[in-house]
Amino acid sequence: MPPRPIQKILIANRGEIAVRVMRACRDLGIRTVAVYSDADREALHVRSADEAYPIGPPPPRESYLDIGKIIDAAKKSGADAIHPGYGFLSEKAELARACAAAGVIFIGPPAEAIDAMGDKTRARKKMMDAGVPVVPGDNGSYQGGRGFPSAEAALESARKLGLPVMLKASAGGGGKGMRLVEDEKKFVAAYEGAQREAKSAFGDDAVYLEKAVVRPRHVEIQVFADTHGHCVYLFERDCSIQRRHQKVIEEAPSPALDEATRRKMGEVAVRAASAVGYVGAGTCEFLLAEDKSFYFLEMNTRLQVEHPVTEMVTQLDLVRLQIAVANGEPLPFKQEDLRLQGAAIECRIYAEDPLRFLPSPGKITRLRQPSGPYVRDDSGVYEGAEISVYYDPMISKLITWGATRGEAIDRMQRALSEYRVGGIKTNLQFHRRVMRNAAFREGRYDTSYIEREKAELLRPLELVEGDEALDAALAATAIQAFTQAPQPATDADARDAERSAWQRQES
């Protein structure tokens, strides 16, 4: 247990998650320290902190991924704890060990737990030993069960498993080094491509195989453990709406789970966390088959991007809990005390082309974010801020809550209609379409949802009946009646096809 409560926290991250952690700290009366690269000198997280320290050039490896610079900033600032956020160094055991060596509290799990779950092939074996169901697969025989000696050896294993199979990076996550292979003739090229991507992303080209589960849902369980031997699950999040294995929309609870399956998955997640001596916030990810069977995929040893939907349906502040556990405090509740309350949905708002999902860096010339009852917008930008080419192009995470799933969806539709961004392209149009898509509204989706519904979701605006662009001419007449001197749309507005006529009349 720390000798005294944490009084100053350095957030080893940027963007919306750094701002999110700072808000929790402010609620607790804890001072905050930001770190920033040269590209982030004017970023919102820097402006939000009590103190800020430069850590180098824009490339992450020279700044946010440099453990030495992070520890040096903690020492200079007198921070007694470091919160890693998610991404960057959040799942690096080396940071946890460096914190211990420097006498700084790491707000996260023990280094040993990060190591145990960080290598996917070893984690699979550990989970099987603990009786946790995993997707049938093969870790390979190379280097003590970390990959295969050749593509041909991997292909032979794939034949035994039976195609389709998934190729996955042993050291990976976030969809990097992942390939679905349905045709044996394409296996070798896919395997070599997965290796190259894994090497580039993680410095490790080890790849393993999993049997592909047909039309699965991606359902994850939030777990929380303290240093007193208590571990609970905070229900599930459905993260099945993905593109290129990257989550786009998440919700809690999952519309596919019944209470019995929810309880089974939660108990398995607690067993998985306990098997590695876990402490703090963690997430066990599962594939859920149509017959309600489920399989462990991996454990993320950090706070998740989508943690706000869990906060909305449990009324818990997970960052405050992380800080309390790091202070040595026991969890203030037991499993039987926890209850699901309503439903919540999160849309990740990105600076990207809404049809091709390509990043759209640049300056935000105009920004109006939604608000109102049960609407939350976790943002890391402001009007005039730059979306950098060096980092994830997320603008914010928009979350809504409702007493029912339908109410949460309706509220999200309203919130999305209020959201306005100028100067860059965004995926707001995509989210608006999803919210009124029949399959989504009825909860009939899986990880192939976007591909299956792309004719509706990704069609050019002017071809979609009822969409904003087609309504523009009719709406303009109504606007004239309410506006004495309507301002004409600018060239930038005209280029921004995702805005409605109401939006284009404002400046």
DSSP string, 459-504: S-GGGSTTSHHHHHHHHHHHHHHH-SSPPPPPHHHHH-TTS-HHHH
Q: Which two tokens stand for residue 248?
A: 């786009």
Residue type, 206: A
Torsions phi, psi for 83 (to 5 deg):
-105, 125
Catalytic amino acids? 302
Cis peptide before 488 (omega within 30 of 0): no
Torsions phi, psi for 404 (to 5 deg):
-130, 165
First to last CA, the chain: 54
Instruction: Give the span between the Cα atoms of 187 and 185, in whole angstroms.
Output: 6
248: closest CA among 349, 104, 148, 372? 349
CB atoms within 10 A of CB 94: 12
Torsions phi, psi for 496 (to 5 deg):
-85, 85
Provide the greatest CA pair distance for the chain.
Answer: 75
233: closest CA among 267, 198, 264? 267
Instruction: Give the span between the Cα atoms of 452 and 442, in whole angstroms.
Output: 15
Instruction: Give the span between the Cα atoms of 256 and 276, in whole angstroms.
Output: 29
Report yes or no: 301 and 117 within 8 Å, Cβ to Cβ. yes
Instruction: Give the span between the Cα atoms of 294 and 133, in whole angstroms.
Output: 7
390: closest CA among 58, 64, 25? 58
DSSP H or E stretch at residue 387: strand 386-387
How far is Cα of residue 157 from the mean position of the Cα atoms in its chain? 32
Instruction: Give the span between the Cα atoms of 318 and 326, in whole angstroms.
Output: 12
